């Protein structure tokens, strides 16, 4: 083989390998995460849930505990997990580093690396209560869990955060005027310092549904559902917002900046829309739920950012995977699920294709009740056109590599 021919062959081989690697890296995974709540008495076994999420190509899950059955069921699936320390444990962990270490040794260490635990949330919406002891215990508990992860050699793999209601904001509009409640400043300021020091995100549970439900006459439905609307302009920044969720996210960024932090990211740990509600819960319908979650998923698939942070893709965990029949409160609380406990979707949605359509999301990325079901063979056999195309091209590339190596 001549030198020039060999060089040409090596160059082609390099380009071919590069394209093959790129194709393998272009995942069909959905970019949104899902909240997997279990306040119900009729949910399927976690092993079946693992199959459902794999059929959907969802690879990010958030729990409200550290259920060992779930963590074992998802071993070697590649699914990333956020697990949780319950509010009831905060005071104990704040007072006892040994308790935090024991919790991590029991609920995190045994499952890594088979199960990809990437974050521990310490407490959930602690500032929505009037329990000042719990509020005061939050940051010390977070620090104790963080230290325990470090002591056990897991600090580089697992971050520590806490999920907060968007109601920690005193002002959310215009977004540039976002500010935390004054009565919470003494707690939130050091928590932001902790996030800045550890590189962990600030988690927010945000539900535009609540704003619409409280004032349907004044809040635009298309604005909260990500549907076409004139939008709202922030007079201070001249930025235009076409949906409420993005405005809420940017309000959090503004509130953090007012406390001296531009080094902390914002992740939406919960958002969703109920498909059913009580008579006075305006807007809780199947159509609105499908529109909200479908439109949001499409934006996530496009790696869209907010007007303030256009180059930072929104990071969202949809609430929730299942309808949970034992949740207290109004009917809407039991009807946020994308799925019924039997595995069939509550409604069809278009989740968007992103870099590849989800295998269980049906043609065009739609979540179709007749295409995806946990208990049907179709969910096991369904393969998206994108999946097939990528594999065929990859096979051809590998054949080309073999020919080049033999020449």
Q: Which of 84-88, 178-182, 371-375, 397-401 has the lowest mean pLDDT?
A: 371-375
Q: Does residue 397 form part of some domain?
A: no
Q: Does residue 361 form part of some domain?
A: no
Tokens of 343: 């595995």
274 is in which domain, residue-wise? Answer: 28-354+368-379
Contacts of 216 (CB under 8 A, 6+ apart): 282, 283
> What is the percentage of the chain residues whose pLDDT exceeds 90?
76
Would you give the DSSP letter of residue 165?
E
The three-class DSSP label of residue 328 is coil
Contacts of 55 (CB under 8 A, 6+ apart): 359, 360, 372, 374, 379, 380, 382
Residue 383: pLDDT band by 50, 70, 90 thresholds? Answer: very low
Q: Pick the catalytic residue from 80, 88, 227, 270.
A: 270
- What's the mean pLDDT in 19-31? 46
- Res 165: pLDDT: 98
- Res 357: pLDDT: 34
Q: Does residue 10 form part of some domain?
A: no
Tens of pLDDT along 311-353? 999 999 999 999 999 999 999 999 999 999 998 999 988 765 4
Residue 401: pLDDT band by 50, 70, 90 thresholds? Answer: low
- How far apart, in whole angstroms, are the C-alpha atoms of residue 387 and residue 361? 12
Would residue 182 show up in a list of annotated catalytic residues for this protein? no
Q: Look up the CATH number of the domain holding residue 205.
A: 3.20.20.80
Q: Does residue 388 form part of some domain?
A: no
Q: Does residue 90 form part of some domain?
A: yes
Give the C-alpha distances (Å, rounded to integers) separating 144 from 85, 98, 138, 141, 341: 12, 9, 10, 5, 36
Would residue 227 show up in a list of annotated catalytic residues for this protein? no
Q: Does residue 18 form part of some domain?
A: no
- How far apart, in whole angstroms, are the C-alpha atoms of residue 72 and residue 361? 25
- Res 30: pLDDT: 81
Q: Which of 8-12, 26-30, 196-200 is most confident?
A: 196-200
Of 178, 179, 202, the closest CA to residue 190 belongs to: 202
Tens of pLDDT along 284-299? 999 999 999 999 999 9
The three-class DSSP label of residue 254 is helix
Total-model pTM: 0.83
Tens of pLDDT along 134-153? 999 999 999 999 999 999 99
- Res 350: pLDDT: 72
- How far apart, in whole angstroms, are the C-alpha atoms of residue 321 and residue 36? 5
Tens of pLDDT along 40-83? 999 999 999 999 998 889 999 999 999 999 999 999 999 999 99
Q: Does residue 5 form part of some domain?
A: no
Tally of helices (H runs) and strands (E runs) in the chain = 13, 14
- How far apart, in whole angstroms, are the C-alpha atoms of residue 138 and residue 93? 9
- What's the mean pLDDT in 373-397? 40
- Res 362: pLDDT: 41
Tens of pLDDT along 235-278? 999 999 999 999 999 999 999 999 999 999 999 999 999 999 99
Question: How many domains, the chain?
Answer: 1
The three-class DSSP label of residue 233 is strand
- How far apart, in whole angstroms, are the C-alpha atoms of residue 87 and residue 372? 35
> What is the percentage of the chain residues whose pLDDT exceeds 70?
79
Tens of pLDDT along 125-139? 999 999 999 999 999
- In this predicted structure, the answer to whether residue 158 has a pLDDT above a threshold of 90 is yes
H or E segment and range at residue 387: helix 385-406
Of 117, 291, 296, the closest CA to residue 206 belongs to: 296
Pairing of strands 33-35, 60-62: parallel
- Res 24: pLDDT: 31
Greater model confidence, 367 or 273: 273
Give the C-alpha distances (Å, rounded to integers) separating 302 from 297, 299, 305: 9, 5, 9
Q: Pick the catalytic residue from 80, 88, 125, 186.
A: 125
Q: Does residue 137 form part of some domain?
A: yes
- Residue identified by tokens 């949970």 is 324
């Amino acid at each position: 083989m001549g030198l020039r021919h060999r060089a040409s062959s090596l160059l082609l081989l390099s380009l071919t390998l590069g394209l093959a690697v790129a194709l393998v890296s272009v995942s069909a995974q959905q970019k949104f995460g899902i909240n997997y709540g279990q306040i119900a008495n009729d949910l399927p076994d976690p092993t079946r849930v693992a199959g459902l999420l794999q059929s959907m190509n969802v690879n990010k899950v958030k729990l409200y505990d550290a259920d060992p059955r779930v963590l074992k069921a998802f071993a070697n699936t590649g699914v990333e997990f956020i697990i949780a320390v319950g509010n009831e444990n905060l005071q104990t962990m704040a007072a006892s580093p040994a308790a935090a270490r024991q919790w991590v040794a029991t609920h995190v260490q045994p499952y890594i690396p088979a199960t990809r635990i990437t974050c521990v949330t310490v407490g959930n919406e602690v500032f929505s209560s009037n329990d000042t002891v719990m509020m005061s215990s939050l940051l010390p508990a977070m620090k104790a869990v963080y230290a325990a992860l470090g002591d056990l050699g897991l600090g580089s793999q697992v971050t520590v955060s806490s999920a907060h209601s968007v109601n920690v904001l005193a002002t959310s509009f215009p977004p540039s005027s976002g500010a935390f409640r004054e009565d919470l400043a003494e707690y939130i300021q050091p928590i932001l310092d902790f996030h800045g020091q550890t590189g962990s995100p600030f988690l927010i549970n945000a539900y535009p549904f609540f704003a619409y439900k409280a004032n349907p006459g004044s809040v635009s439905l298309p604005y909260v559902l990500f549907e076409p609307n004139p939008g709202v302009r922030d007079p201070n920044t001249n930025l235009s917002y076409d949906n409420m969720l993005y405005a809420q996210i940017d309000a959090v960024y503004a509130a953090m900046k007012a406390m001296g932090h531009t080094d902390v990211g914002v992740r939406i740990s919960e958002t969703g829309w109920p498909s059913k509600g009580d008579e006075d819960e305006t807007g809780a319908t199947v159509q609105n739920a499908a529109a909200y979650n479908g439109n949001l998923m499409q934006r996530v698939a496009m790696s869209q950012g907010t007007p303030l942070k256009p180059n930072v893709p929104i990071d969202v965990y949809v609430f929730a995977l299942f309808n949970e029949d034992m949740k207290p409160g109004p009917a809407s609380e039991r009807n946020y699920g994308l799925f019924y406990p039997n595995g069939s979707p509550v409604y069809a949605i278009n989740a968007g294709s992103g870099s590849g359509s989800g295998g269980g999301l049906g043609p065009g990325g739609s979540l179709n009740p007749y295409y995806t079901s946990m208990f049907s063979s179709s969910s096991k056999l369904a393969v998206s056109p994108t999946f097939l195309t990528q594999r065929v091209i990859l096979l051809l590339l590998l054949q080309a590599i073999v020919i080049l190596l033999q020449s």
